[in-house]
Amino acid sequence: MPKESILGQIASDTSGATAIEYGLIAALISVSAITAMGSLGNTLTNTFTYVSNQMATAQTGKL
């Protein structure tokens, strides 16, 4: 029974590949979520600013 060389064992070892793949998937999901939440935050800020301005204008009677 021939012994496999150390380099051959390292090349055929795939136990860490799955962990790396899961890490990459988690990183992609995180970046996507951060981007979506940032965009949503900007939209909400604009909406509340608009509503606030409209309420201030209505309060002064210049609508």
Mean pLDDT of 19-43: 92
Gap between the Cα atoms of 5 and 11, Å rounded: 10
pLDDT higher than 60, residue 37: yes
For residue 16, is pLDDT > 90?
no
Q: Give the per-residue pLDDT at 4.
A: 67
The pLDDT, as a whole number, for residue 3 is: 65
pLDDT at 48: 95
**Does pLDDT of 11 surpass 60?**
yes
pLDDT value, residue 52? 94
40 three-class SS: helix
Q: Rounded CA gap, 25 and 22, in Å?
A: 5
Report how far residue 51's alpha carbon sits from residue 40's, in angstroms, rounded to the nearest whole number.
Answer: 16
Of 37, 14, 34, the C-alpha closest to 26 is: 34
